[in-house]
Amino acid sequence: MTERETNPDARLVIVSNRGSVTFSRNDSGEREHSRGAGGLVTALNALSRQRSEAVWIASAQSDEDVRVAKETSETGESHEVEGLRILLVEHDADAYDLMYNHLANPLLWLVQHGLYDLPYSPALGHETRRAWEEGYLPINENFAEAVAHLLESSSEGGEPIVLVHDYQLYMVPHFLRERLGKSAFVSLFVHIPWPEPEGWRILPGYIREGILKSLLEADIVAFHTKGYARSFIRTAHETLGAEVDEEEGVVKYEGREVWVRPYPISIDPNEFEELARSEEVLEQEETVKSLPGKLLLRVDRMDLSKNIIRGFHAYDRMLELHPEMKGEVTFLARLQPSRGDIPEYAKYAGVVEKTVQEVNQRHASESWEPIVLSMEDDFMLSVAAYKNYDVLLVNAVRDGMNLIAKEAVVANEKNGVLILSESAGAHEELGEHALTVNPFDIDEQADALYDALIMPDDERARRAKSLQETIRSNTIEEWAEAQLEDIAAYREWGD
């Protein structure tokens, strides 16, 4: 980062739907805040640290968030919390519901992960159009308005850099350009998979083209893997006829040049090392260590993309093929309830629980429960499990990255074996040292479970070491720096 370095005074604005803090009032009526957890928060914090003047814009979620949003919209100033400058945006509640629960989460999520049962769903129509026109578009415009307002209120510091994040905010680049023209650098980072062109074509014309055109108003469009970047480039070519260069990662459209680049997201290994040593985690380890036999672990949101059901079927099959393993292993499934208001998700959760009951009934003994289902929202318990697993199962149907694979490997102290779906984004980096599985193949997963459980210690150690080294060679700091380097290069190129 010598001569390509971007102007260190450039103002950095990060825009994402969820922020890193949520405000509330305590019993005495005083304002408090809690830090959000999760990979994106760690990642965007790392980006914020790159600039002292960075501001993070996010949706107001709680009632107190709304009050904070109202205050800052009056003063025009952001709110400083734990060294981060936060600006919360208040949305119309109905519009937000349409954006979040009717457009982004069912439709875009399911299309981008390829999870629809196409003979029957989706059934698009006027409801889709309404969610788009009265939900997705106004919420995105509201965000762009907040960015423009912030940048107008302080014009010092040169050309601003606006980093927009994820599938809730695809139209922000478009509304930003309407307000700011070319006076800002804009990137959009897609944190979920990008489907191949035919998958994208499921969307109605006004969405499929609207989103692509907005993304191509950004200067850089970023993904977690080379594969998603390539799929995006092909989609731009086949949907809009844009001129593309797959090798160079460039899309040319309406006179602009857009760079399409992979930046595999990562974690902060130090954070997990500290957590692993913390008192809360040490306490939770008692629970985890009391489970009989080796520890087989999965940690996931209860999501259609995570392949939870086939994971249990594979375990069932492994016990059927190797009955000597009964009682020698416990499958701890930490499943965080998610999106229960969406019918597809409610149905899925029901099938997951039924499958657990069936497998347990089939194999349980008096002293042994084959699958322990654990749905409490307790991150410390998850970290305690990370430390102690012998085998970690990440068999997602599709997954943007899957940061749990990285977190767990860094925290693990048992040379645990990683079983990894070839369709998780993390597979591009970690596949070489994991046991790779086809997420649709029950018997292949059953074999991988068995192989992992009986793997000799030296092979376990060798694989665990390589996984650790790979993750430590690309931490969240490198992720943030790589983006800012490319931004500097893009701006130099553009001059």
In the complex, the smallest distance separating the C-beta of residue 125 from a copy of itself, rounded to whole angstroms, is: 4
> Cα 292 to chain center, whole Å?
32
Pairing of β 84-89 and β 79-81: antiparallel
Is 125 near a copy of itself (CB under 8 A)? yes
Q: How many chain residues touch a copy of itself (CB under 8 A)?
A: 42
Is 456 near a copy of itself (CB under 8 A)? no
Pairwise CA distance, residues 214 & 169, whole Å: 10
- Name, in order, each residue with C-beta under 8 angstroms of 462's C-beta and a sequence gap of 6 or more: none
Q: Which of 36, 197, 327, 431 binds a copy of itself (CB under 8 A)?
A: 197
In the complex, the smallest distance separating the C-beta of residue 127 from a copy of itself, rounded to whole angstroms, is: 9
**Cβ atoms within 10 A of the Cβ of 298, count?**
26
Q: Which of 77, 328, 444, 485 binds a copy of itself (CB under 8 A)?
A: 444
What H or E segment, with its residue span, contains residue 299? strand 294-301
In the complex, the smallest distance separating the C-beta of residue 354 from a copy of itself, rounded to whole angstroms, is: 12
Site for a copy of itself in 348-387 (CB under 8 A): 348, 351
Report the C-alpha dihedral over residues 126, 128, 348, 375, rounded to 10 degrees: -130
Pairwise CA distance, residues 54 & 40, whole Å: 16
Q: Which of 41, 115, 364, 375 binds a copy of itself (CB under 8 A)?
A: 115
In the complex, the smallest distance separating the C-beta of residue 140 from a copy of itself, rounded to whole angstroms, is: 22
Task: Provide the edge-to-edge strand list for the sheet that holds 371-374.
Answer: 371-374, 329-336, 294-301, 391-394, 417-421, 435-437
Among the candidate windows 53-61, 113-121, 293-301, 487-495, which touches a copy of itself by CB under 8 A? 113-121
Is 440 near a copy of itself (CB under 8 A)? yes
Pairing of β 185-189 and β 220-223: parallel
Site for a copy of itself in 128-157 (CB under 8 A): 128-129
Q: Distance from first CA to last CA of the chain, Å, rounded?
A: 18
**Cβ atoms within 10 A of the Cβ of 205, count?**
9
Q: Which of 37, 124, 346, 461 binds a copy of itself (CB under 8 A)?
A: 124
In the complex, the smallest distance separating the C-beta of residue 309 from a copy of itself, rounded to whole angstroms, is: 7
Q: Which of 62, 73, 336, 438 binds a copy of itself (CB under 8 A)?
A: 438
Q: Which of 29, 83, 181, 205 binds a copy of itself (CB under 8 A)?
A: 205
Site for a copy of itself in 283-322 (CB under 8 A): 304-305, 307, 309-310, 313, 317
| CA distance to 98, 133, 237, 259, per residue, from 65 (Å) | 20, 25, 41, 35
Among the candidate windows 26-34, 51-59, 192-200, 371-379, which touches a copy of itself by CB under 8 A? 192-200
Pick between residue 42 and residue 305 the one whose CB is nearest to a copy of itself. Answer: 305
Is 339 near a copy of itself (CB under 8 A)? no
Which amino acid type is present at position 219?
A: D
Pairwise CA distance, residues 106 & 194, whole Å: 15
Pick between residue 122 and residue 327 the one whose CB is nearest to a copy of itself. Answer: 122
Among the candidate windows 141-149, 190-198, 262-270, 467-475, which touches a copy of itself by CB under 8 A? 190-198
Q: Which of 80, 198, 245, 283 binds a copy of itself (CB under 8 A)?
A: 198
Report the C-alpha dihedral over residues 60, 207, 401, 246, rounded to 10 degrees: -130
Q: If you ran DSSP here, which 8-state letter would residue 193 be given?
A: P
Is 126 near a copy of itself (CB under 8 A)? yes
Pick between residue 65 and residue 316 the one whose CB is nearest to a copy of itself. Answer: 316
Please name every residue paired with 109 in a beta bridge, in sequence order, or none if there are none: none
Pick between residue 95 and residue 202 the one whose CB is nearest to a copy of itself. Answer: 202
Is 241 near a copy of itself (CB under 8 A)? no
Pick between residue 47 and residue 192 the one whose CB is nearest to a copy of itself. Answer: 192
In the complex, the smallest distance separating the C-beta of residue 422 from a copy of itself, rounded to whole angstroms, is: 7
DSSP states of 222-236: EESSHHHHHHHHHHH
CA-nearest of 281, 269, 266, 268 to 378 is 281
In the complex, the smallest distance separating the C-beta of residue 347 from a copy of itself, rounded to whole angstroms, is: 9
DSSP states of 130-142: HHIIIIIHHHHHH
Pairwise CA distance, residues 395 & 426, whole Å: 11
Pick between residue 180 and residue 304 the one whose CB is nearest to a copy of itself. Answer: 304
Pick between residue 102 and residue 165 the one whose CB is nearest to a copy of itself. Answer: 102
Q: If you ran DSSP here, which 8-state letter would residue 460 be given?
A: H
Is 105 near a copy of itself (CB under 8 A)? no
Is 423 near a copy of itself (CB under 8 A)? yes
Which amino acid type is present at position 71?
A: E
Q: Which of 63, 71, 443, 459 binds a copy of itself (CB under 8 A)?
A: 443
| CA distance to 25, 37, 122, 280, 300, per residue, from 379 (Å) | 23, 9, 34, 10, 11
Is 240 near a copy of itself (CB under 8 A)? no
Q: Which residues contribute to the site for a copy of itself (CB under 8 A)?
A: 114-120, 122-126, 128-129, 195-199, 201-202, 204-205, 304-305, 307, 309-310, 313, 317, 348, 351, 397, 422-423, 438, 440-444, 446
